Amino acid sequence: MRAMEKTIPTPTGTRRTKTRTRNATATFVLASFLLLVEGVVAPPWGSGGEWQLLHASIGISAMHMQLLPGDKVVMFDRTDFGPSNISLPGGRCRSDPADLALPIDCTAHSVLLDLPTAALRPLTLLSDTWCSSGALLPNGTLLQSGGFNDGDHSIRLFDSVSGDPLADWQELPSYLAVRRWYASDQLLPNGRVLIVGGRRQFSYEFFPSQESAAGSGGHGALFPFPFLEETRDANAENNLYPFLHLLPDGTLFVFANTRAVILDIASHQVLRRLPPIADDVPRNYPSSGSSVLLPLRLAPGGTTLPRPEVLICGGAPRGSYESALRGVFLPAATTCGRIGPSDPNPAWIMETMPMPRVMGDMVLLPTGDVLIVNGAAAGTAGWELAREPVMNPVLYSPGASAELRFTLLNGSSIPRLYHSTALLDPYGRVLVGGSNPHVGYNFTNVTYPTELSLEAFHPPYLASAGPRVVAAGAPEAEVGYGEVVAVRFEVVAYVEWTGTGSVEVVAMAPGFATHAVGMNQRAVVLPVGRVTQVGPFEYVAEAEAPPSPEVAPPGYYLWFVVHAGLPSQGVWVRIRPTP
C-alpha cells in the first residue's frame, strides 16, 4: 500500500489537498511503469517503436474496441459468427432462434480486458453487434448502438465505473428508430450522443432520445439527413461509417465518400458545404480511409477558440470494391487530405504517405502526432476483398516540415485487415487487435486467418523516460470547465529538464474503434500557466481545464503530461457536465 497525495482545485481557486491510499493494483501499475522508464541502459528497441504480443488469444476477434475508465478495454465482435474461442461466464448458453450461425451458442462474443493485470473476463451479448458503433457517456457508461440482424435496432449499455466485478452488457432492444448498421456515434456537448447514418439510413437520431427521456417509452425522433443519400455510390456505397468531428464552436463536421458538410445540431441545418476532397478518392466504408480531428490547442482563458483541422488518410479509389469482387485488387490511396473546416475559405491540402493504405486506423497520441496503423495496400473493406497487408505503422507529425511529416515505423508480423482495430491506452501504447476478413471464425484454408491476438505497439517515445504524474488524476478526480488544476509530476533524474516552456498537459478522450474509424477520439492541449519546482525532480504545472463542452464534451479523459516531447502515463480525470 502506498499513500499518495492529490491536489485538486476548489471552485474558488484555493486548493485542498487530500490523501488517499492506492490499492494493490494501482501500485502494480506504478511499479511496472517505473521499471519501464527507469531503465538507464539503452532500451531493447530503437527509434522505430516496438511490438509486444499481449495475448495470443483473447478468445474473440477485436472487431470493436473501447478504452474505459479504470484502465479496462471492452472488445466485441459479432454473435452470428459461430463459436468463439472463449466460453460464456458461468457455463451459460445463449439461445437465440434468430442467430444466423448458431441458435444455441455457449461462447462469448465480448470480453473485458483489465490492462494492469492483462486478465480477461467474458461478457454476455444477447443480440448481434456486427458493424455497430459506440460512445462513452459522461457518466462512464459505454453506449453501444445498432448492429445487424436481431441487434440492428438495439442499444446496449456497459457500466464501467460502478465497480461491480460482474458488470455485464444491458440490452435495450428496439430502442433505435431505424436499423443502424455501419452508423457512427458522436458524443455531444450536452452529453447526448448523435447516431448518424448506417446502411440505407439517410438520417440521424439521439441517445437518450427526447421521447424516452420524457418517459414515453417510444422510439426517438428521426431527423432526415439527405447528405448521406447524396454521397451514396450506386454499388459500393462508400459513405458508411461517416466521419464525425465535433468542432470547438459546437457544430459538427461530417464527411462521407468524398464530401464534407458542417451541420448545426440544434437547428438540424447544414450550415456549410466544404469542397470535395481534392483527389476525389472515396474515404468511407468500404473504401475505408480513416480520420482524426487534430489536437485542439487552447489559448489561456478560453477566450479564442482553437482552429480545428481534420485529417483523413488512405482509402480506396472508386471502382475498387467492384473490382475486388472480380478478384482484381486495385492499389489503395496513398494520399491524406487536411482541411481547416472553420477557415473562411476551407481548402484541402493533400499529402502523400510512404505507402498506400485502406482500412488503416488513425490514433491520436499524447505527443500530438497521429499513428496510422493496420490495413492493406490493395483492395477494400469487405469479406475477402483486400490483399497486401501493410505491416508498418506510419507516424504523422502535424507540425513537422514536409520531409519529416511521415515517419515509417517498425512493422508487426501479424496482418490486420478487415475488422482490425487500434486505440491509445493509458500507458501511451497503442493496442492493436482484430482482423476477421471471413464470414466465420476461419483459422485455416483462408488467405488471412481470423486473428484472436492482441498486440501493443510501443511508439518510439516509450523508449525514453517520460515524466511520471504523481497527482492530478486518481480515478475519482473531477474538474469543472475552466478550472485551474495543479498537476504534479516527476522528471526522472537522468533526463535533462528542458524548462517550463516544454511542458504540455493534454486531455485525451478515449475512442471507440471499429472499421478504421476512431469515434470520439479527441486531444485537447490545455493551457499551462506557472510550472513550479517543488522537489529535486518534482514539479507542479497549473493546467486550465477546457473552457466549454463544445471544446471538450463532458466525461472521462486521460490527462498526460508531456515534457520535451515525451508523455507520462495518462491519469483519468472526469470533466463534470455543466448543470
Ligand X SMILES: *[C@@H]1O[C@H](CO)[C@@H](O)[C@H](O)[C@H]1NC(C)=O
Name the site residues for ligand X (rule: CB under 6 A): 45-48, 57, 82, 85, 137, 139, 141, 157, 159, 162, 208, 410, 438-440, 442-443, 445-446, 452
Q: Give the residue with the Cβ less far from ligand X, 86 or 470.
A: 86
State which residue, 283 or 438, has the beta carbon closest to ligand X. Answer: 438
CB of 47 or CB of 216, closer to ligand X: 47
Q: Which is nearer to ligand X, 46 or 300 (CB)?
A: 46
**Smallest gap from residue 261 Cβ to ligand X (A):** 28
Residue the block writes with cell 480525470 = 573
Residues contacting 71, CB < 8 A, separation 6+ = 29, 114, 115, 116, 425, 426, 572
If the CB atoms of residues 7 and 407 are measured against ligand X, the closer one turns out to be 407
Q: Which residues contact 57 (CB under 8 A, 6 or more apart)?
A: 85, 452, 453
Q: Closest CB to ligand X among 83 and 480? A: 83
Closest CB 303 distance from ligand X, rounded Å: 32
Rounded Cα distance between 567 and 560, Å, is 6
Nearer to ligand X, 45 or 202 (CB): 45
Least spacing, CB of residue 458 vs ligand X, in Å: 10
Q: How far apart are CA 450 and CA 443, in angstroms?
A: 6
Q: CA dihedral defined by 127, 129, 134, 137, rounded to 10 degrees?
A: 20
CB nearer ligand X, residue 319 or residue 411 = 411
d(CA 185, CA 194): 6
Cβ-count burial 418-456 (b if 16+ within 10 Å, e if not)? bbbbbbbbbbbbbbbbbbbbbeebbeeeeebbbbbbbbb
Residue nearest to ligand X (CB): 48
Half-sphere exposure of 425 (CA within 13 A, CB side): 28
The radius of gyration of the chain's CA atoms, rounded to the nearest angstrom, is 22
In angstroms, what is the minimal distance from the CB of 385 to ligand X? 12
Q: How far is the CB of 451 from ligand X (least distance, A)?
A: 9
* Shortest distance (Å) from residue 190 CB to ligand X: 11
- 3 state SS of 489: strand
Nearer to ligand X, 141 or 190 (CB): 141
CB of 395 to ligand X, least distance (A): 12
Residues in contact with 462: Cβ distance below 8 Å, sequence separation at least 6, in sequence order: 36, 49, 50, 427, 428, 429
In angstroms, give the least distance from the CB of 163 to ligand X.
11
Q: Which residues are CB-neighbours of 144 under 8 A, at least 6 positions away?
A: 64, 76, 129, 132, 133, 134, 155, 156, 157, 158, 169
Which CB, 244 or 452, lies closer to ligand X? 452
User: 122 is written with which cell numbers?
Assistant: 467474458
Closer of 220 and 308 to ligand X (Cβ): 220
Q: Judged by CB, which is closer to ligand X: 84, or 284?
A: 84
Complex with ligand X: residue 218 or 440, whichever CB lies closer: 440
CB of 82 to ligand X, least distance (A): 6
In contact, 482 and 302? CB cutoff 8 Å: yes
Q: Nearest Cα to 108, choosing from 60, 146, 147?
A: 60
Say if CB 423 and CB 32 are below 8 A apart. Answer: no
Q: Minimal distance in Å, beta carbon 209 to ligand X?
A: 11
Instruction: Determine the Cα–Cα distance for residues 55 and 37; give it in Å rounded to an integer.
Output: 23
How far is residue 438 from each of residues 131, 142, 381, measured CA to CA in Å? 14, 27, 11
- What is 107-123 written as a DSSP string? B-SEEEEETTTTEEEEE
Q: Are 382 and 286 in contact (CB under 8 A)?
A: yes
Given the C-alpha cell 510501443, which residue does it identify? 458
Q: Do residues 468 and 37 touch, judged by C-beta distance below 8 A?
A: yes
CB of 414 to ligand X, least distance (A): 13
Q: How many CA atoms lie within 13 Å of 350's alpha carbon, on the beta-carbon side? A: 12
Q: DSSP assignment, residue 90? A: G
Q: Measure the CA–CA gap between 413 and 418, rounded to whole angstroms.
A: 16
CB of 452 to ligand X, least distance (A): 5
Contact 23, 163 (CB under 8 A): no
Least distance from C-beta 122 to ligand X, angstroms?
12
Closest to ligand X by CB, 145 vs 284, is: 145
SS3 content of the chain, % helix, strand, coil (to 5): 10, 40, 55
CB of 48 to ligand X, least distance (A): 2
